[in-house]
Amino acid sequence: MLNDFRYAFRMLLKTPGFTGVAVLTLALGIGANTAIFSLIDAVMLKVLPVKNAEQLVLLNWASPKWATGILTNLSGNYWTDDSGRFTSTSFSYPFFRQIHDQNKVFSAVFAFADLGLNVNIDGKAELAAGQLVSGDYYRGLGIQAALGRTITAEDEKASGQTPVAVISYGYWKRRFGLDPSAVGKSINLNAIPFTIIGVTPPEFFGLQPGSSPDISIPITLQPQVAMRWSSAGKPFIEAADTWWLQIMGRLKAGMSASQARTALDVLLQQNITADHASKVEQAQIPHIELTSGSKGLDSLRRQYSRPLFVLMATVGTILLIACVNVASLLLARAMVRQKEVAIRLALLGMMGGTLGFLFASWGTDLIVALIPEGKTSGLFSLHPNLHVLAFTAAVSIATGILFGLAPALTATRIDLTPALKESRSASGGRSRLGLGKTLVILQVSLSLLLLTGAGLFIRTLRNLESLDVGFNPDKILLFSVDPTQIGYSEDRTTRLYQELLERIEGLPGVRSASFSTFGLISG
C-alpha cells in the first residue's frame, strides 16, 4: 500500500498540469460545499456551548385557533406549525413565577427577553443589544463568568440597591479592550445607573444562533428600563394577559419531556382564569408544547432552513460537475496508462489492487484540495468544528470514489493481450468512448441546469433593483430615535422630535427632513 502511494505521488509530480487542473476543480467543488455546510452547521446543527445541553427544553404553546379573549397583548414571534396551529414561545411573567414556585419537573427554570438599550459609559452614548434574565438564567445554563460573577436569584429579588449587569465577552473586548477594571464600573442603561458585576465566557453567545446580547440585567427591572412596556397601565412584569418572555428549563433526572409537558399544561390551564375561559371556545385555549433547547431558539432555523438546503443542493450539483470533469480527464489519461494498468492486473490478478492504486493517486489530489479548505475558509479558521471537518473529509472521500469509479472500472475491463502489445484496438476502447459520451452529456445537462437557475436569479435581482419604490433612494439618510426608552413622556418626545427636525434642516447640505412613526418601506 505504501508503495502504491509513493508511486501515485511520483505520477502526480510528472504531470503538474493535469494535477493542477484536477486539484483546482475539486477544490472549488469541495470548498463550496464546505462553506455552505459550515453555515448550515452554525444555524441548524450547532449545540449550545453549555453544560449538558441535551437536558434543556424550551416552552411553546399551541392552539388550533387564535386565543382572542386570552392573548390581549402578545409581544414576540408567533407562527403556524405544520398542522396549522398558532404557535409561540412567549409567556407572561406571572405564569413563569407560577412555574418557578410550583416547579416539580425542572432542576432549574429561567426566563429571558430581548431589550434594546441606550448605553452611556463615561459620557459616551451608544446602542447595545440587551436582554432581561431571571435569577437562574446562568445557573440553569451552567455558565460560569470569565471575570467577576453572573446574575443570581438574589439580584432578581434585590430592591433599593444599585442594579447590576453582566456584559458579554465580545462587548467587553469591543468596548473596554479586555480591561479587568470594567468589572465594578458604573454605566447608565436607559438612564438608569448599573454596576457591571461580570463577563460571560467567550464561547457563550446567548440562546439565539446568529446574535449575541451585549448586556444582561435582572428581569425584575423591566418597569425601570422599559417603561413603555405596559398594558392597561400595568408593566409587562405584572400583567397576566401580556405574553412577552421566553421560558427554558433543565429537566430533572428521570423526568421525560412528556411528563413535564403534562405537568406544565396543568399549570397553564390554572393560569388561564375561569373568566378568560368563558370568553373563548375550547379550541382557542393554548396548550403547552416542549421542544429541545439544546440548540437554542429556532427562529433562524425556521426562517433559513429552506434557503440553506436549496444552496446545499446547488453546491452539491457544482461538486458533481467537478467530479464529471475530473472523470473525463482520467478517462483520457487511461488511454495513455492502459499498458500500466494491464501490467498491474496481470501481476496482481485482482481488481482490488488496481482500484486501490487508482484511488490512492486520485485521493492525493483530494488531500491537497482539502488542506487549503481548512486554512483559507474564514468560517473554518474562526470556528473550528468537528462537524465541519468530518463533513469535509467525508465529501473528499466520496468525491474520490465518485470521480474515480468510472475510470477504474473501465481500466479493470482491459483485454490484457492487446494492451500488453500496446495495440490500439484493445477491448474497452469502445466502452470508454461510450462512457465518455455519457459523462459529457451529464456535464452539459448539469451545467445547463445551473446556468438557467443563475440566469433567473440574476433577472430577479435586476427586477428588484429597477423596481419603482415611489421615491428617489439616492442621498437619503434614515435613522431612528426612541426617547421613550429612557422615560420621555409623549409631550416631551414630540418636542424633542421637533427640535431635532429643526436642527437637522439647518445643517449644510440638507435639502429637507421629516419624521414618521414608520420608516420608508418598513410597515
Express each pLDDT in 174-207 by its tens digit. 999 999 999 999 999 998 999 999 999 998 988 9
Helix, strand, coil % over all residues of the chain, rounded to 5: 55, 15, 30
Q: How many domains, in total, are found in the chain?
A: 3
Name the domain boundary from 230, 261, 294. 294
Final residue of a structural domain among 294, 323, 356: 294
What is residue 346's predicted lDDT score, i.e. its pLDDT? Answer: 36
Residue 114 sits in the same domain as residue 222: yes
Using 50 as the pLDDT threshold, list the residues of the chain that sit under it.
338-382, 384, 416, 419-420, 424-428
Nearest residue to 438 via CA among 415, 414, 401, 405: 405
Residue 321 covered by a domain: yes
- Residue 269 CA to residue 287 CA, distance in Å, equals 8
- Domain that includes residue 357, residue range: 2-46+303-464
Quote the pLDDT of residue 365. Answer: 42
Q: Does residue 309 fall inside a structural domain?
A: yes
Whether residue 327 is contained in a domain is answered as yes
What pLDDT score was predicted for residue 517?
A: 80
Q: Which residues, in sequence order, are bridge partners of residue 62?
A: 87, 287
Could you tell me if 193 and 136 lie in one domain? yes
Residues 264 and 351 in one domain: no
Task: Indicate whether 282 and 402 sit together in one domain.
Answer: no
- Whether residues 370 and 505 share a domain: the answer is no
Q: What local confidence, expressed as pLDDT, does residue 369 receive? A: 45
- Residues 418, 344 share a domain: yes
Point out the domain boundary residue: 250, 267, 294.
294
Instruction: Tell me if 77 is assigned to some domain.
Output: yes
| Statement to judge: residues 171 and 245 lie in one domain | yes
What pLDDT, on a 0 to 100 scale, did the predictor assign at position 153?
A: 93
pLDDT at 439: 74
Residue 264, pLDDT score: 95
86 and 221 in a common domain? yes
- Say if 441 falls within a structural domain: yes
Is residue 470 a part of any domain in this protein?
Answer: no
Residue 127 host element (H or E):
strand 124-133
Whole-number pLDDT of residue 77: 76
Are residues 443 and 327 part of one domain? Answer: yes
Q: Are residues 133 and 226 in the same domain?
A: yes
Does 141 share its domain with 285?
yes
- Is residue 484 a part of any domain in this protein? no
Same domain, 100 and 227: yes
The pairing of strands 164-167 and 215-218 is: antiparallel
Query: Would you state the pLDDT for residue 372?
Result: 40
Judge whether 478 lies within some domain: no
